Structures are given as structure tokens and as C-alpha cells.
A = this chain, B = another copy of it.
Amino acid sequence: MSVTLADVAARAGVSAATVSRVLNGNYPVAGATRTRVLRAVEELEYVVNGPASALAAATSDLVGVLVNDVADPFFGIMASAVQSEMSPVPGGGGGAGRADGPGKLAVVCNTGGSPERELTYLTLLQRQRAAAVVLTGGTVEDAAHTGALAARLRRLEAAGTRVVLCGRPPMDAGDAGPHPLTVAFDNRGGARRLTDHLLSLGHRSLGYLAGPAARTTTRHRLEGHRAALSAAGLGGDAERLTVHGAYDRASGYDGARELLWREPSLTAILAANDTVALGVCAALRERGLRIPEDISVTGFDDLPFAVDAMPALTTVRLPLHDAGAKAGRLALGREEGPPGGVTTFRGDLMVRDSTGAPR
């Protein structure tokens, strides 16, 4: 059937142990022997049996990346960045045969934002004895789920899997302070800067299209927004001018209509993210409102298409790629987190054409 270590050993005239050692490069093997083995591997087109070696060595080279939605560039970009860190260091140090193997296999798993699927994948990864797991994006704020998740993560770590949180707030769930390996975004600060920008332009009647309630990302952005509003003495109406929806275009479209229905005199609408903002723009255009002359619109994340929207979206740029890469390095243990454990990336305000002074 399939070529095994033993076949290679036979062909090279050595023992299986020697072949294994050549392949893993962690034990001295004489040059001539090594060459012979390598040739046999070549000739037989031998490919290691991953499960077998994972079983014997009690480790695997799988790294799981959990995302809420692979089809969303927000996650796609982070996943891609994580993955870009998985190959063995290019210029490698020692110069030994094959420094670090072909690298880890980063696999991205699509949870669809569902806590159950998240747990399911974590189990699947645990049973694969994954080397590390990166959880990206915000999470549902639900006691039951948070508990189950924390428990599962604890078990994963107990089993030697490195767990890193990326773009998700540290979970100080219960016991020992924040999770040690966390890369977070300053959603609160970004949202606050965005609202402040609108306020400084003279807006006084702002609508907010929030993401799904009970998600950390949603809450943090909303808090930043409300903080800015309160500081300007505009907190009173906040509740009424907030509409929750999903992080997608349709929610933006529907939400904008709802907001305008509640308050026709709105001069600005802040969307939960860029995708939502696109929906908002569509609804506004349909209603014959000009952006930003009649009404300003903002996004969040600064996904690649934000600059191409019409008009180009004022938004908050999140360093998605950098965060993902950092998470990847943490996952590989190639880099340590700061003393506190949490690396926070700031979101910078990108002022473009979708915001202007109110009429």
C-alpha cells in the first residue's frame, strides 16, 4: 500500500531508528548514512505518516485558527497573517539538514459565530492534539458559554496546546487574571475617536448601528461611542438612537431605515463595521440622501474595500495583518507576550469622504 519508514530503512540498509533520526535531525547521524537515507526517501517518495508520528511523539504540527466567518475579509486577513508565520524561519539558524520540517499546518476553522461550533472545533483540535489554537474575533458574552469555553481552553492548555486570543479581549474568566497570550484591538478607543471626529465636525444627532448584542466587540465599540457622547453631554438620546443587527450588509440597510424612521433629523450614522456601512450607504442613496452633504456615515475596521466605497469611507483602521502575524508568532512560541500578557493594537482614525460638517 503505502511506503513506510521500514521500507525506507530497508532500502537504505539501515534501521528504522536511523531513518527517523535523519528525518527529525535531532540526533547525530554520520554524513554518509544520512545521504543514503535521504536518497532512499527520495526514491521511494516517502511521506511521513503524521498520525503515527504524532502518536509516538505526543505532539502534532497542526495549528488551529478559529474564525467567525472565513468569507469575511476581516477574518480572512487575520487568518492569512497567522498562516504566514507558520513556515519555518526562512534564513534558519543552525543550518542543519532541514531545520524545522515543512513548518506547521495552520488550519482555519469556520465557527460561523456559533458558540457550539466553536466548542466542537476546539474538541476536534484537541483530539488532533493540535500544537496551538488561535481564537480570533469577538465572542458571545454568555455566562454558560464563557464558562464552557474557559474550561475547554484550560484542558487544551493542560494537554500542552498553546492557546492564543487574537482580536478578542483577554478572558480573566474566574481565576488567574487575563489569559497570558492575547492580542487585542482597542475597539473602545477607536470608536471613541470616531465619534469625537463627528462631534468635532458639529454633529449633534448621531445614530449608531451596533453589531449583535452580547458580543464583546459590539459592546466595546458601543461603549467607546457612548463615552464620547456623554463627554459631550449628548448621552441622553443614545439608547433610542442605537439599533442592533448582524455584522453584515443587510443589517446596515435595514438598520439605517429604522434609525431614520426613529429620528429623521439624524446628521450622521456610525456603523458597526465597514460592511454594515456599505448597507447604510445603499439605504441612504435609495432615499435620495447625499453623503456626506446630507448625512455622514462611518465604518470600522478599514477593510480593503472601504477606500473604494462611494464615497470613500471614514473609518477606523485596525492592523489586522499585524495582529494576526503577532498571534501566529505567539502560537508558535517564537515570541513572548509583554509582561502583562496582553498586546493591544490601537485603531487609527482614517478620515475620508463619507464624513463632513452637518448642514
Q: Which residues of A contact B (CB under 8 A)?
A: 1-2, 45, 47-52, 54-55, 60-62, 69-73, 76-77, 79-80, 83-84, 102-103, 105-110, 120-121, 123-129, 155, 159, 249, 275, 278-279, 281-282, 304-305, 307-311
A226 to B180: give the CA distance in the assembly, Å.
Answer: 58
Are the CB atoms of B83 and A2 closer together than 8 Å?
no
Q: List, sorted by A's number, 16 A–B pairs whose CB atoms are closer than 8 Å.
A: A45-B155, A48-B127, A51-B51, A51-B52, A51-B60, A69-B76, A69-B80, A70-B79, A70-B80, A70-B108, A71-B73, A71-B80, A102-B123, A102-B124, A105-B121, A310-B311
Are the CB atoms of B110 and A83 closer together than 8 Å?
yes
A78 (CB) vs chain B CBs: closest residue:
B71
A50 to B76: give the CA distance in the assembly, Å.
Answer: 27
| A73 CB contacts on chain B under 8 angstroms | 71-73, 76
Least distance between A55 CB and chain B CB atoms (Å):
4
Are the CB atoms of B120 and A102 closer together than 8 Å?
yes
Least distance between A272 CB and chain B CB atoms (Å):
16
| A80 CB contacts on chain B under 8 angstroms | 69-71, 110
Are the CB atoms of A249 and B70 closer together than 8 Å?
no
Least distance between A75 CB and chain B CB atoms (Å):
8
Least distance between A73 CB and chain B CB atoms (Å):
6
Identical chains in the assembly: 2
**Could you say which of A73, A103, A249, A282 has the most chain B C-beta atoms within 10 Å of its C-beta?**
A73
A120 to B110: give the CA distance in the assembly, Å.
Answer: 23
Least distance between A142 CB and chain B CB atoms (Å):
21
A60 (CB) vs chain B CBs: closest residue:
B51
| A155 CB contacts on chain B under 8 angstroms | 45, 47
Least distance between A198 CB and chain B CB atoms (Å):
22
| A121 CB contacts on chain B under 8 angstroms | 105
Least distance between A297 CB and chain B CB atoms (Å):
12
Which 4 pairs of residues, A with B, have the shortest CB-CB distance? A310-B310, A107-B107, A51-B54, A71-B76
Besides A50-B54, A108-B108, A309-B310, 9 more A-B contacts (Cβ < 8 Å) are A47-B127, A49-B55, A49-B129, A71-B73, A83-B109, A105-B124, A105-B125, A308-B309, A310-B310
A74 (CB) vs chain B CBs: closest residue:
B71
| A105 CB contacts on chain B under 8 angstroms | 107, 109, 121, 124-125, 128
A128 (CB) vs chain B CBs: closest residue:
B50
| A109 CB contacts on chain B under 8 angstroms | 83, 105-107
Least distance between A84 CB and chain B CB atoms (Å):
8
| A51 CB contacts on chain B under 8 angstroms | 50-52, 54-55, 60, 128-129
Least distance between A244 CB and chain B CB atoms (Å):
21
A320 (CB) vs chain B CBs: closest residue:
B71
A127 (CB) vs chain B CBs: closest residue:
B50
Task: Tell which of B76, B124, B125, B309 touches A72, judged by Cβ atoms closer than 8 Å.
Answer: B76
Least distance between A166 CB and chain B CB atoms (Å):
14
| A49 CB contacts on chain B under 8 angstroms | 55, 127, 129
| A311 CB contacts on chain B under 8 angstroms | 310
A107 to B133: give the CA distance in the assembly, Å.
Answer: 13
Are the CB atoms of A308 and B278 closer together than 8 Å?
yes
Are the CB atoms of A126 and B47 closer together than 8 Å?
yes
